[in-house]
Amino acid sequence: MPGIGPKTDADRNAGGEVAVSSVSAAGRRQRWAGLAFTLPGVILLALFLAVPFLMALGLSFTNERLASPLPTRFIGIDNYARTFGSSSFRQALGNNVWFTAIVVPVQTGFALALAILVNQRLRGVKVYRAIYFSPVVVVMTVAATVWLLLYSPDRGLLNGILSVISFGTLQSSWLQSEMMALPSIMIMSIWQGVGFQMIILLAGLQEIPEEMYEAAAIDGASTWQRFAYITVPRLRNTLIFVATVTMILSFRLFDQVWVMTRGAPLGNTNVMMLEMVNVGFEQQHIARGSAIAVIFFLIVLTLTIVQRRFIREEVD
Amino acid sequence: MKRGSVRRHRRGIALAIGLALVLTACAEDDEVLDEAGCDGEITQDEIEIWWHEGAEAEVRAVEDFVAEFNASQDEVTATLTLVPEADYASSLRGAAASGDLPDVIDTDASFAFTYAWAGDLQPIDSCIPDELMDDLLPSIVEQGTYAGRMWAVGMFDSGLGMYAVRSALEDIDARIPEGPDDAWTVDEFDEILADLRAAGYERPLDVKKNYGQGEYYSYLYQPFVWSAGADVLADDFSQADGHLNSPEAVEALTRFQAWHLDGYVDENEDDAAFVEGRTPLSMVGHWEFSRYSETYGDDLVLLPLPDFGQGTRSGQGSWQWAISADADADAAWSFIEFTLQPDQMERMSEASGALPARSSIAEQTERFGPGGTAELFRIQLEEGYTVPRAPHPVYATVSSTFNQAIQDIIDGADVEDALTRAAETIDDDIEANEGYPPPE
Name the band, by pLDDT with cuts 50, 70 and 90, for residue B28: very low
- Average pLDDT in the B89-102 region? 89
Q: In whole angstroms, how far apart are CA B280 and each of B169, B203, B261, B396?
A: 8, 9, 19, 34
Distance CA A263, CA B346 (A): 42
| Pair (A23, A117) in one structural domain | no
Range of the domain at A149: 79-315
Contacts of A66 in chain B (CB under 8 A): 93, 96-97
Contacts of B118 in chain A (CB under 8 A): 67-69
Name the band, by pLDDT with cuts 50, 70 and 90, for residue A22: low
| Pair (A23, A115) in one structural domain | no
Give the helix/strand (H/E) hosting A128: helix A125-137
Mapped onto helix, strand or coil, the DSSP state of residue B321 is strand
**Residues ≥6 apart with Cβ < 8 Å to B303:** B161, B162, B163, B164, B176, B177, B183, B184, B376
The whole-number pLDDT of residue A307 equals 82
- Average pLDDT in the B49-62 region? 93
Please spell the DSSP secondary structure of B403-440, one letter per residue. HHHHHHHHTT--HHHHHHHHHHHHHHHHHHTTT-PPP-
Q: Which residue in B32, B218, B411, B415 has the most chain A C-beta atoms within 10 A of its own C-beta, making it the best mutation to test that interface? A: B411
The whole-number pLDDT of residue A152 equals 87
Is A70 a domain residue? Answer: no
Indicate whether B129 pLDDT > 60. yes
* Distance from the B198 Cα atom to the nearest Cα atom in chain A, whole angstroms: 21
**A81-89: which pairs have CB atoms within 8 A and are 24 or more residues apart?**
A82/A288, A82/B428, A83/A288, A83/A291, A83/A292, A83/A295, A87/B421, A88/A267, A88/A270, A88/A275, A89/A272, A89/A275, A89/A292
Distance CA A26, CA B217 (A): 69
Contact call for residues B266 and B275 (beta carbons, < 8 A): no
Cα A82–Cα A88–Cα A94 angle in degrees, nearest 5: 110
Contacts of B119 in chain A (CB under 8 A): 69
The whole-number pLDDT of residue A314 equals 52
The whole-number pLDDT of residue A171 equals 79
The whole-number pLDDT of residue B70 equals 97
Name the band, by pLDDT with cuts 50, 70 and 90, for residue A5: very low
Name the band, by pLDDT with cuts 50, 70 and 90, for residue B235: very high
| Pair (A301, A153) in one structural domain | yes
pTM: 0.80
Is A71 a domain residue? Answer: no
The whole-number pLDDT of residue B318 equals 93
The whole-number pLDDT of residue A23 equals 64
Interface of B with A in 56-115 (CB under 8 A): 90, 93, 96-97, 114-115
| Pair (A15, A106) in one structural domain | no
**Contact yes or no for B114 and A264 at CB 8 A:** no
Instruction: Pick the more confident residue, A109 or B21.
Output: A109
The tally of domains found in chain A comes to 2
**Domains of chain B, each with CATH number or no CATH:** 46-154+319-353 (3.40.190.10), 160-314+393-432 (3.40.190.10)
Tell me if the bond preceding A265 is cis, omega within 30° of 0: yes
Interchain contact A282–B (C-beta under 8 A): yes
Contact call for residues B210 and B269 (beta carbons, < 8 A): yes
Measure CB to CB from residue A58 to each of B26, B396, B408 and give the nearest one. Answer: B26
Q: In whole angstroms, how far apart are CA B342 and each of A104, A258, B107, B156, B230?
A: 63, 42, 22, 12, 38
- Average pLDDT in the B309-317 region? 95
The whole-number pLDDT of residue B389 equals 94
- Average pLDDT in the A18-36 region? 76
Distance CA B269, CA B380 (A): 30
Domain of residue A115, CATH code: 1.10.3720.10
**Residues ≥6 apart with Cβ < 8 Å to B242:** B234, B423
Interchain contact B306–A (C-beta under 8 A): no
Is A257 a domain residue? Answer: yes
Indicate whether B1 pLDDT > 70. no
The whole-number pLDDT of residue A312 equals 67
Contacts of A72 in chain B (CB under 8 A): 26-27, 29
| Pair (A89, A25) in one structural domain | no
Indicate whether B16 pLDDT > 90. no
Q: Picking from A57-61, A173-177, B220-224, which range would have the lowest pLDDT averaged per residue?
A: A173-177
pLDDT tens digits along B145-178: 999 999 999 999 999 999 999 999 999 999 999 9
Mapped onto helix, strand or coil, the DSSP state of residue B152 is coil
Name the band, by pLDDT with cuts 50, 70 and 90, for residue A21: low
Give the helix/strand (H/E) hosting B145: strand B145-146
Query: For strand B355-356 and strand B156-157, is the pairing parallel, antiparallel, or unpaired?
Result: antiparallel
The percent of residues in chain A predicted with pLDDT above 70, rounded, is: 91
Interface of B with A in 338-367 (CB under 8 A): none
Is A131 a domain residue? Answer: yes
Contact call for residues B280 and B300 (beta carbons, < 8 A): no
Indicate whether B247 pLDDT > 70. yes
| Pair (A123, A170) in one structural domain | yes
* Residue A186 burial class via C-beta count within 10 angstroms: exposed 0-12, middle 13-18, buried 19 and up: buried
Query: For strand B121-122 and strand B319-324, is the pairing parallel, antiparallel, or unpaired?
Result: antiparallel
**Contact yes or no for B31 and A155 at CB 8 A:** no
The whole-number pLDDT of residue A1 equals 38
Instruction: Pick the more confident residue, A88 or B248.
Output: B248
| Pair (A247, A290) in one structural domain | yes
Is A276 a domain residue? Answer: yes
The whole-number pLDDT of residue B19 equals 52
Q: Pick the residue from chain B with its C-alpha nearest to A74.
A: B26
The whole-number pLDDT of residue B130 equals 95
- Average pLDDT in the B376-390 region? 94
Which stretches does DSSP call E strand in B230-361?
281-285, 300-303, 314-315, 319-324, 355-356
| Pair (A52, A93) in one structural domain | no
| Pair (A188, A292) in one structural domain | yes
Is A271 a domain residue? Answer: yes
**Residues ≥6 apart with Cβ < 8 Å to B149:** B116, B123, B125
Is A141 a domain residue? Answer: yes
Name the band, by pLDDT with cuts 50, 70 and 90, for residue B27: very low
pLDDT tens digits along A152-198: 887 888 888 888 888 877 778 888 888 899 999 999 999 999 999 99
The whole-number pLDDT of residue A16 equals 45
Q: Give the mean pLDDT of chain B.
A: 90
Q: Picking from A97-101, B1-5, B191-195, B387-391, which range would have the lowest pLDDT averaged per residue?
A: B1-5
The whole-number pLDDT of residue A6 equals 45
| Pair (A125, A206) in one structural domain | yes
- Average pLDDT in the B373-394 region? 94
Query: For strand B104-108 and strand B156-157, is the pairing parallel, antiparallel, or unpaired?
Result: unpaired
Q: Give the mean pLDDT of chain A.
A: 87
- Average pLDDT in the B71-80 region? 96
| Pair (A14, A132) in one structural domain | no
| Pair (A85, A156) in one structural domain | yes
Interchain contact B23–A (C-beta under 8 A): yes
Q: Pick the residue from chain B with its C-alpha nearest to A283.
A: B397
Is A134 a domain residue? Answer: yes
Mapped onto helix, strand or coil, the DSSP state of residue B300 is strand
User: Given strand B281-285, what is the order of strands in its sheet?
Assistant: B205-206, B281-285, B160-165, B300-303
The whole-number pLDDT of residue A159 equals 87
pLDDT tens digits along A207-240: 999 999 999 999 999 989 999 999 999 998 899 8
